[in-house]
Amino acid sequence: MNILLSFVGKQDPISEKTNKEGAVLTLCKHLQPDLVYLFPTAEGPGVRDATESNAYATKELLPEVSPRSTCYVRSLYLKDPTDFSELMPSVKEEVRKILAGLEEEKKNGQDVQIHLNCSSGTPQMQTCWYVLANSGYIPGVRLWQVKNPDLSSPEERIREIQLNFLEEENSLSRIRRCLPEFLFGVMVNECRRLQEISVFSSRRLAAELVADIFEAYRKWDLLKYREAYEKLASIERRWRATRDAGTIAESLRKQVDYLKRLEPEKDKETPHNLVDIYFNAQRCFARRAYADVLARFWRIFEGVVYYRLREKWGIEPRNLSESSSAQNREAVATLNKTLNKSRDMLDRATGIKALKEVLKDKEFIQILELEVNAQRSNSVQKMKLAKLLDELTEKRHASVVAHGMKPVSEEDAVNGLAAAKTLLSNLLPDGDALLASYPLQRAQIEQLIDYLAKS
């Protein structure tokens, strides 16, 4: 059983502009449906562009082009057929009734195929069909477009609209909506779906490749550096000689080089590791995971202190016996003993005390005196970095990140990012350059999405 659902436009049943059959009659001639449901705008006081009379005129002429069709007119009581918010509920309710009536036919083994005329009616009416079809509200539906007879030959006038085109655009739109929060897992799933449904062979290949890249980014985001490196390096080798890869190939090369520098098997901080944790914290912030931001701030704070002790003063904070400077090791061990702490390692607080009071690290002390912008509700307050670090330390200890149960606010996360960036910029060699050249930022991901959209 073939069923046609159609709105009724001003050019139905016969167009005044071309003096030829409108979209409804043309489509009925082509499909020869068993049932036709027409949805005109009912006439009434204050109603704009009523088409009820057009619907009944169409019903009267229908037997001439499709003799076996039974036609029903379901008038829509609308004040404005261009108001989507008024239109959609009415259409959906009428379609629900029709679908419910067809259930008995399906139970009796009758095959039911529903067709939609996407040419008659206002643009908002046509959009209703796209929404209902693409959402799955009307299962197994087929969509049709009828072209202007003056602009096309008779055999070219009717064209079926493939839903895959719509779903492809929806998938691309969902991928773009995932970008601000860096939801790599969802982006992988949407790419895999594109790979399955795309009507373009080039897009299927591009979707497979981009899905693999997003999967590598997902592992990177989870700090699974080795897995991310192995996957991305394999992809980069495949793209290296691709002519149309362009700037994407160069971005992948930089990302692979960066991942190679990260050291997941070791517990010693490196500038690249610390900078990566900072951008990981930014991605957490985008997802509103403020506790994760504060946790990563703490790791950066501790890591910068440990890195400076090791690289500038020859002190191995996690195992003092491995320190390269015997003199500094003994001085710090004496401090540990004075504070009744383990002689074998330094915690973050003792490390800071060692830098300030034992090693007299002038550069470190000066940087703690730098003024930074601290978020305060809807305003910004200037305060010394040392004071902000103390504040964030207290926030961390009282929160679920450490020993307490307090939540982490957006303000705390903002300040944690500001403090972390100041530490990295001033206490790492080439800190500003490392921050500026970090290869997994929004711009590189947008390149991939644009490549996919154009494929």
Element housing 146 (H / E): strand 142-146
Q: How does pLDDT run across 418-441, given as a tens digit for each residue? A: 999 999 999 999 999 999 999 999
103-109 long-range contacts, CB within 8 A, separation 24+: 105/1
What amino acid occupies position 314? G
SS3 category, 267:
coil
Which of 42-46, 172-176, 253-257 is least confident? 42-46
CATH number of 2-161: 3.40.50.10770
Across the range 15-29, mean pLDDT stands at 88
Rg of the chain over all Cα atoms, to the nearest angstrom: 33
Judge whether residue 105 has pLDDT over 80. Answer: no
- Alpha-helix residue ranges (DSSP H) falling in 179-266: 184-197, 201-221, 225-239, 247-261
| Confidence at residue 397, expressed as pLDDT on a 0 to 100 scale | 93
| Confidence at residue 162, expressed as pLDDT on a 0 to 100 scale | 72
pTM for the whole structure: 0.71
Element housing 142 (H / E): strand 142-146
Residue corresponding to tokens 């200037």: 382
Q: How does pLDDT run across 152-209, given as a tens digit for each residue? A: 776 778 888 776 666 778 888 899 999 999 999 999 999 998 888 786 788 888 899 9
Mean pLDDT is highest, among 79-93, 186-200, 302-316, 340-354, for 302-316
| Confidence at residue 164, expressed as pLDDT on a 0 to 100 scale | 65
Task: Give the domain ranges of the chain.
Answer: 2-161, 168-264, 271-317+347-437
| Confidence at residue 61, expressed as pLDDT on a 0 to 100 scale | 94
Split at pLDDT 50, 70, 90, the class of 116 is: very high
Which of 129-143, 160-174, 329-343 is least confident? 160-174
Split at pLDDT 50, 70, 90, the class of 122 is: confident
Split at pLDDT 50, 70, 90, the class of 251 is: very high
| Confidence at residue 354, expressed as pLDDT on a 0 to 100 scale | 94
Split at pLDDT 50, 70, 90, the class of 245 is: low
| Confidence at residue 443, expressed as pLDDT on a 0 to 100 scale | 94
Split at pLDDT 50, 70, 90, the class of 399 is: very high
How many angstroms from the chain centroid is the CA of residue 123?
29
Judge whether residue 120 has pLDDT over 90. Answer: no
Q: List the structure tokens of 168.
A: 């492809």
Average pLDDT, the chain: 90
| Confidence at residue 264, expressed as pLDDT on a 0 to 100 scale | 63
